[in-house]
Structure 1
Amino acid sequence: MKTEKISYLIGSGVTLLFVFLAFQFYNYQNLRHEEQDPKSFVGVLENLDLKMLDFKMQLRGSKPSEAKVGLIAIDDKSIEEVGRWPWDRKVIAKLVDNVFADGASSLGFDVIFSEPQFGDPSSDMALAESLTKHRDKVVTGSFNEPAGDAWAPYQDYCVNEAFARANGADVVKLNASFVVEDKADPYESIDFGQLLNQLFTALEAENVPLLLKNEFKVASEAELSDAQKRFMKIEVTKRNFEYCQTWLTSNDPFVPTKENPELVKAYAEIFAVPEKDLESAVKKFKKTVLRHPLPASWSWSANLPMMQAGVDYNASFNAFQDNDGSVRRMPLFYRTGNRMGTSFVPTLSLQTYLTGMGYRAQVTVDKTSNSKNKVVTAFDVYDPKQEPEKKMFSISADKFSFMRVNYYGGTYSIPHIPAREILRNSPTIKIIHTFWHPESQKFQPKVVEVDRKEFFKDRMLIMGATATGVYDLRVTPFEKNFPGPEIHVQALAQLADHKFLSPWSKEAKLMPWIILALGIFLSVVLTQVGAVPGLIISATTLAVIVATDLFLFLKFNIMISIMLPLLVLVIVNFAIQTYKYLTEEKKKKELKTTFAKYVSPAIVDEVLKSPENLELGGKKQRMTVFFSDVRGFTTLSESLDPQKLSEILSRYLTPMTDIVFKNRGTLDKYMGDALMAFFGAPIAYDGHAKEACRTALQSLVKLKELQEEFKKEGIPTIDIGIGINTGEMSVGNMGSTIVRNYTVMGDAVNLGSRLEGINKEYGTRIIISEFTYGDVKDAFVCREVDMVKVKGKNLPVKIFELVAEGQVDKDHQERLSTFEKAYRDYQEMNFKNALEAFETLDKNHGDPVAAIYVERCQEFLENPPPQDWDRVFVMTKK
């Protein structure tokens, strides 16, 4: 077969594969979030496409909004001035009164007041009165735990009533400004609560006595404390929700059958059918009800009743994360069941916008053309103040009600008003906003002073915590540590500006055919021309695709998923140009790329010279594993901001990794502040135990230098513990078919990890096993510390403290000799002599290991061990 024909078939084959993937990709996008598998191939493509969208936003750069919105920031300086968060509710009440006195049109809370303020009930009352005073302008905030679709679609009606019975009205306010019209709900007019509340009452009559008896061991609710009563209410509500998952199934304890004639009659009345037709009516009901497009939520956290009851609007401030953890979109409302007025909660940004503008949003839900699912078909905003009511615009939301957040930029793209500024009685306030700086030719944050009333007039506000210690930080396309409340405010500005990101409406239908045409074009052209012309044609095609995509995005805010066309272009080109390229040089480059991350360049070169020494699938050999971990890292992380903490960690791990490389070690992985390495692979050599011990000692020398540097900079002191073990291990490229890692596994590795943790028990820094000691005892000074059984192991092992390489000074040697003699006395159960020696070492030299044996000897003198004592200490911790 000719080369040209093979090339054409390869290109065509790749093209057809991507056409198939395109259909799968767009089907994947039609799935609800909880149905998606981010680890699948199309899930990976989706993630790549999202990263491409991030890149386009970053390329567009910051474009601060001029919308009349703002973020009342509970920032670090406000907390310094007012006091630790959460603040006294009277302070919040004053803040609320001040912003509305200055002319704000609405205020949404990205905070929740779910518990009474400790010690001063008048503070709660003060805030409740303030919220009630401004009830038509305030939007309280709630949050929930997603439940997914834990029940069948028809069981939503049961969940409605269970939620209402659990005081769902505290969360879902009857709200004329937000309406969900479900055109595919044939049972909207049926009052299921009439029946279900009777079933819940019967269910609770069974559950309450059981809870009193089994959980609280009391006879009546009167004997319960307030906390127990709250727990009781939660448990009863939970069981009601669990009942909904069995409603009208074979597991339903209240199923309407001939054995329950009263239930049959009650159900027949609900469905308005003769009793003889009830069974078919129930079957039709269960089959007819379609799944709602929005996933269900439950376990809502609501504000205190005194606060919630006094306001007209409540919203959810949940943040929705894509599978990679970034926040790019938000559902415009949440639901628990499927009934208007009892189930739907708008998101904070939407409700704050509707409240501030006096608008009304109407969501239309209807079934799809194939009648298998329900989707959001329209999301319209109206102005009810006009006669007749006028439609203002439509929100660009997908069929699940998700709106893409069209970020204006990083932090401060929306004006931040520090809370302390609002609490001051001044005609002006200082705000922080992003402005264009001619000198740097970019947007940068700047503090400006503005007229207070002019700034707040008709402004829509959201209040939230941005202080570092509150940790409400999110990942966005512009920043990895972005204040969570500003996401809501940026979405609020997007609603006010009508600047929505919209998908190309015909993309799912046309893109597979575009990919087919592109792939066939490339297959024909690249088969006929040489490498250089082919590269030019491919580069030109790539430029046209990218330029078209950027033009539509930057000019019209239209999103197109171009990842598949780009992959087709690249892979068809690559496949045709290199299908015979299977040379040894390519294999060496792959190996070098793989192992450059784990070992020093010298070892990489050695691997490439003798690739037969490398077994990618894994093999067993005797090696040495090395674990080190930072002591005091938790304290350090609590005292530093994330950026500084990352810098400190890099300053520590970089030289420690260099030491591993210098001593012919292989870096396995970083585990936060911990480092794992091994010696003796990928190139096998003798003396790997010595190299590991040398690495450990050099690490302590470097640590001392770092401690001095950190001390001068006022950074808390850190220390490290190191564990080393030698033995048979499996080494090679291991993992899944998607992600692999060159690593070691086995019992010997696990023992090394346990030895690192043992340092905490003995106050040491480097612990090695008897197996490592056997290899290094002639070159290194060590002392036997104990014989232990580590957690998860049945056989004891001797452990040694690594002291030095070569010799130690006379004084140190005498201390080691004293310890060794005392340790032998201890082993021989001569506890009195051992105690005297250990006490001397502890008192004169502060030896932490000796201090441990002082306690043990004292214990054994009082309670001698049996004559068959095995001298083994059992570790109970990892």
Structure 2
Amino acid sequence: MGRLSFCVNKIILFRMKTDKISYFLGVAVTVVFVFLSMRFYTYQTLRNEEKDPKSIVGFLETLDLKMLDLKMQIRGVEPTSAPVALVAIDDPSLEEVGRWPWARKVIAQMTDQIFTDGAKSIGYDVIFSEPQIGDPTSDQMLAESLTKHRDKVVTGSFAEPAGDLWLPYQDYCVNEAFIRANGGDVVRLNASFVVEDRADFYESVDFGKLLNPFFEIYEGVQKPKIIKDELKISEDRLTDAQKRYVQIQLWKRNFEFCRDWLTEHDSFLPGHDANIDKAYAEAFNVKPEELKTAIAKFKNKVLRHPLPASWNWTANLPKIQEGVDFNSSFNAFQDTDGSVRRMPLFYRTGNRMGTSFVPTLSLQTYLTGMGYRAQVVVDRSSRNPKMKEIVGFDIFDPSQEPEKKVFSLSTDKYSFMRINYYGGTYSIPHVSAREILRQGPTIKVIQREWDQANNRWKVDQKEMDRKAFFKDRMVIIGATATGVYDLRVTPFEKNFPGPEIHVQALAQMFDQKFLVPWEMEGKVMPWVILVLGILLSILWTQTGAVAGIVVSMSAIVLIVGVDLLMFLKFHVMLSAVIPLFLLVFLNFTVLQTFKYLTEERKKKELKSTFAKYVSPAIVDEVLKAPENLELGGRKQRMTVFFSDVRGFTTLSESLEPQKLSEILSRYLSPMTEIVFKNKGTLDKYMGDALMAFFGAPIPYPQHAQEACRTALQHLVKLAELQEEFKKEGIPTIDIGIGINTGDMSVGNMGSNIVRSYTVMGDAVNLGSRLEGINKEYGTRVIISEFTYAEVKEKFVCREIDQVKVKGKTKPVRIFELVAEGNVSEDKKKRLDIFEEAYRKYEQKKFAEALIQFETLVQGETVDPVAEVYVERCQEFITNPPPENWDGVFVMTKK
């Protein structure tokens, strides 16, 4: 086996091994991502209270949300003609009217004026929870104004999220505690908003009748504690404010009681008192002996509501709230990263229709303005048997006969609607509150408009007829002034006015431009990721890093492109973050890192070994593209190089074996280095002979030139060695070199047991014959006509004969390689003489040729080739060749 074969086989085996490991590593990572994607899509269906933003899937969801923000930003401002507006209590209004909060009579004046101008409905993103200080009549004026427009105004309230403070069945207790705490001021019996709970199995139970006696007893126990421990005063000395404080604390204690209801901490737990047992038996309509089973069934059967409860509600003053038909919640809901991207369309305090559910401000303002009705259907969850979910959220027009369904609101299972923001601040018309109070015929409206000249959106202010502007418009009044601090983080801005979020959601309902998820994504995407991961694993194991990057970037562009297309054209939200992470993680973080760490280490080992047999440049190229070292042979045009030492037999007879080996090493080492320097590949050493080839394993077009350059440099090095050997008394050596260019089979060839990376074919055999022919002509380097054709522009050569080598019938012209570039004038003159003499020789003008050849063998410089032709001419003059003589010389030796 040739010296190169070891390295070739090692590279191929290593590549096969690393490819297999890389493939299985890629598949393993893909499987991990499949399970991760399943977790991710399940995580997306959880409520915020159940999510952990610090988990891996939590991190992925945050990235997914940021990508949603980016898609909105790429889309930019979305124009809308929805009849909505924000009346902003802004900084200019505060400068003109005074600091916030304003006198209630000012709000009353604004309300009357907006309705006079033709508005359909007004929603208030402000609350009137405390009496007006210093002007008792102001509250009354606002109450009268709201009562006058009671079916067109929507007041607002806010609460604190309770999360899962209570067990599912304890919602019934919470509901009664809320009612007892004047919850009717917050939750109004509202025909325009109906929640149908198909999974409420205890609708007929009168929990108020059951629990109110317990609340009264509990409050009686807690009241002295509050007065004594917190106020540290006797009850008869309480002020009105302190009495109100005590009452509020008692209401809060009732909610705490609900946390213990029907647990071991319940002070009124059935089974210990006959009167308590009787009350429960009557409420559940069972016999006393069946009570224990009934309560256990009740606790187990009640399902958790999809929407978390809210508590500690802050309501408007009773005198203000009582005259209004509709109340709402203007709570802002933040995602886990603090940004507002969605809103629940209603909030809840318990689970009873008419006493538990509060629509959001934008929804109720829309329903009030349009005269529509919303119907929410809650049923058992298809995903979790212990949960309920929203299965329908439809908008109806009661004015139609029969009642007509207008559209379905796009929400998730927990009533959350994605806010399809129209853009940043002023994407919806803003009217400063001071414009309303000025009562002129026109108002200034601020909104983003398209600037055709500069091809961009800009905030513009227009003077408009006030009645024309407000006619049939739905309005939300809210504070945007800097000092009010009602600013939120949104996809477009970090300081976005809270009231405009409600107005943009209101416009979205009117335009019905909802962001919708692809319902099948959670089922389909894991399979897509599996197929994508396996395909990419196969592809990346067969390509290099650059190709891997190109494929990765192409796949990323495709995924992002589809994601953007679905969002921009169809308002469909896809979660591209998982496949994108798969691509990046699988390619760059895992496979490329693995391939780099293993292949680079192995390449260093192979390079140190491989460099002994081929040039460093070839080593680098081979290691970049090992596929060039394919098993078997491939046909390729290249150049073969043979050299042999003349006088080696004499040398071996006169030297000891150890000395002979040393001399041979001194010769072969520099000659091999020259081969490497000129991009040659060492095929083998054959005793004192050297075989090399040029143009493989890495193809390059100048292989013939590199081979000729190598031969000439060998002669230079030989002269140096001859001088050294002469000084050391070592017999003189000479060399013969044969070079041929042609089509050859090159590759890792041989048996299943032993293979050699080598070249084969007639062109190789001819190169070997040319090396031996040097002896016939006294030359050192002979090249074939095929090599000459490729180097004649760069190298000086002379044609010396046409020969038929042994075993071949077709003659080939052979040339002596003389020099690279130019030669001396004397040398050129002698070459010209030889060429002219040789042409006469071919023309059978032997006498004329003889005269010229003889001039080349006289004097100090004797041309050995000319000597050959002197003998031939003399022979042909004496014995002329036959008429059909073609000038071809037939070799009888190899």
TM-based fold match above 0.5: yes
Equivalent of 1:475 in 471, 475, 489: 489
What letter matches 1:69 in structure 2? V
- In structure 2, the residue matched to 1:13 is 28
1:503-652 matched pairs, under 5 angstroms: 503-574=517-588, 575-582=590-597
- In structure 2, the residue matched to 1:236 is 250
- How many equivalent residue pairs? 584
What letter matches 1:433 in structure 2? Q
What letter matches 1:510 in structure 2? V
Equivalent of 1:309 in 317, 322, 327: 322
- In structure 2, the residue matched to 1:94 is 109
- In structure 1, the residue matched to 2:359 is 346
- In structure 1, the residue matched to 2:140 is 125
What letter matches 1:341 in structure 2? G
TM superposition shift of 1:535:
2.6
- In structure 2, the residue matched to 1:269 is 282
- In structure 2, the residue matched to 1:492 is 506
User: Does the residue aligned with 1:3 lie in a helix, a strand or coil?
Assistant: helix
- In structure 1, the residue matched to 2:445 is 431
For residues 150 and 531 of structure 1, the distance between their equivalents in structure 2, rounded to whole angstroms, comes to: 54
TM superposition shift of 1:22:
0.5
TM superposition shift of 1:580:
4.0
For residues 527 and 397 of structure 1, the distance between their equivalents in structure 2, rounded to whole angstroms, comes to: 44
TM superposition shift of 1:471:
1.1
For residues 281 and 117 of structure 2, the distance between their equivalents in structure 1, rounded to whole angstroms, comes to: 58
2:38 matches 1:23: yes
Equivalent of 1:44 in 17, 39, 59: 59
For residues 76 and 213 of structure 1, the distance between their equivalents in structure 2, rounded to whole angstroms, comes to: 46
Ranges of 4+ aligned residues in structure 1 off by more than 6 Å: none
- In structure 2, the residue matched to 1:251 is 265
User: Does the residue aligned with 2:391 lie in a helix, a strand or coil?
Assistant: strand
What letter matches 1:35 in structure 2? E
What letter matches 2:194 in structure 1? V
User: Over residues 258-304 of structure 1, what are the superposed CA-to-partner deviations in whole Å (9 max), with x where a residue is unaligned?
Assistant: x3111111111100111110000000000000000001110000011
| Bigger Rg over Cα | 2
User: Over residues 185-204 of structure 1, what are the superposed CA-to-partner deviations in whole Å (9 max), with x where a residue is unaligned?
Assistant: 10012111011011111111
For residues 381 and 109 of structure 2, the distance between their equivalents in structure 1, rounded to whole angstroms, comes to: 50
TM superposition shift of 1:223:
2.2
- In structure 2, the residue matched to 1:641 is none
2:344 matches 1:331: yes
What letter matches 2:318 in structure 1? P
Identity of aligned residues (%): 66
- Which stretch of structure 1 is more off in the superposition, 83-92 or 498-507? 83-92
TM superposition shift of 1:207:
1.7
TM superposition shift of 1:532:
2.9
- In structure 2, the residue matched to 1:741 is none
Equivalent of 1:388 in 372, 397, 402: 402
- Which stretch of structure 1 is more off in the superposition, 368-377 or 74-83? 368-377
For residues 144 and 216 of structure 1, the distance between their equivalents in structure 2, rounded to whole angstroms, comes to: 25
What letter matches 1:432 in structure 2? I
For residues 242 and 542 of structure 1, the distance between their equivalents in structure 2, rounded to whole angstroms, comes to: 53
- In structure 2, the residue matched to 1:838 is none
What letter matches 1:354 in structure 2? L
User: Does the residue aligned with 2:199 lie in a helix, a strand or coil?
Assistant: coil
For residues 440 and 512 of structure 2, the distance between their equivalents in structure 1, rounded to whole angstroms, comes to: 34
What letter matches 2:284 in structure 1? F
TM superposition shift of 1:371:
2.2
- Check the 8 A contact 2:390/2:414 in 1, yes or no: yes
- Check the 8 A contact 2:22/2:595 in 1, yes or no: no
For residues 499 and 358 of structure 1, the distance between their equivalents in structure 2, rounded to whole angstroms, comes to: 20
User: Over residues 198-221 of structure 1, what are the superposed CA-to-partner deviations in whole Å (9 max), with x where a residue is unaligned?
Assistant: 11111112222333333334443x
For residues 213 and 48 of structure 1, the distance between their equivalents in structure 2, rounded to whole angstroms, comes to: 52
What letter matches 2:20 in structure 1? K
TM superposition shift of 1:440:
2.2
User: Does the residue aligned with 2:458 lie in a helix, a strand or coil?
Assistant: strand
The two structures have a TM-score, normalised by structure 2, of 0.64
- Check the 8 A contact 2:163/2:308 in 1, yes or no: yes
Equivalent of 1:293 in 281, 299, 306: 306
TM superposition shift of 1:24:
0.9
TM superposition shift of 1:526:
1.2
For residues 566 and 456 of structure 1, the distance between their equivalents in structure 2, rounded to whole angstroms, comes to: 47
Equivalent of 1:280 in 293, 301, 308: 293
2:206 matches 1:191: yes
- In structure 2, the residue matched to 1:55 is 70
- In structure 1, the residue matched to 2:182 is 167
- In structure 1, the residue matched to 2:703 is none
What letter matches 2:188 in structure 1? K
CA RMSD of aligned residues (A): 1.5
What letter matches 1:136 in structure 2? D
Equivalent of 2:432 in 405, 409, 418: 418
For residues 211 and 252 of structure 1, the distance between their equivalents in structure 2, rounded to whole angstroms, comes to: 20
2:389 matches 1:375: yes
User: Over residues 142-175 of structure 1, what are the superposed CA-to-partner deviations in whole Å (9 max), with x where a residue is unaligned?
Assistant: 0101111111100000001000000000111111
User: Over residues 21-59 of structure 1, what are the superposed CA-to-partner deviations in whole Å (9 max), with x where a residue is unaligned?
Assistant: 001111111211011000001000000000000000000
Equivalent of 1:153 in 168, 171, 180: 168
- Check the 8 A contact 2:121/2:474 in 1, yes or no: yes
For residues 581 and 196 of structure 1, the distance between their equivalents in structure 2, rounded to whole angstroms, comes to: 71
For residues 525 and 387 of structure 1, the distance between their equivalents in structure 2, rounded to whole angstroms, comes to: 63
What letter matches 1:411 in structure 2? T
- Check the 8 A contact 2:18/2:595 in 1, yes or no: no
User: Does the residue aligned with 2:64 lie in a helix, a strand or coil?
Assistant: helix
Equivalent of 1:144 in 135, 154, 159: 159
For residues 389 and 481 of structure 2, the distance between their equivalents in structure 1, rounded to whole angstroms, comes to: 39
2:456 matches 1:446: no
User: Over residues 297-347 of structure 1, what are the superposed CA-to-partner deviations in whole Å (9 max), with x where a residue is unaligned?
Assistant: 100000111100010011011111111111101111111110111111111
- Check the 8 A contact 2:351/2:357 in 1, yes or no: yes
User: Over residues 340-386 of structure 1, what are the superposed CA-to-partner deviations in whole Å (9 max), with x where a residue is unaligned?
Assistant: 11111111000000000000001111112352210111111000111
What letter matches 1:468 in structure 2? T
What letter matches 2:270 in structure 1? P
For residues 467 and 211 of structure 1, the distance between their equivalents in structure 2, rounded to whole angstroms, comes to: 39
- In structure 2, the residue matched to 1:869 is none
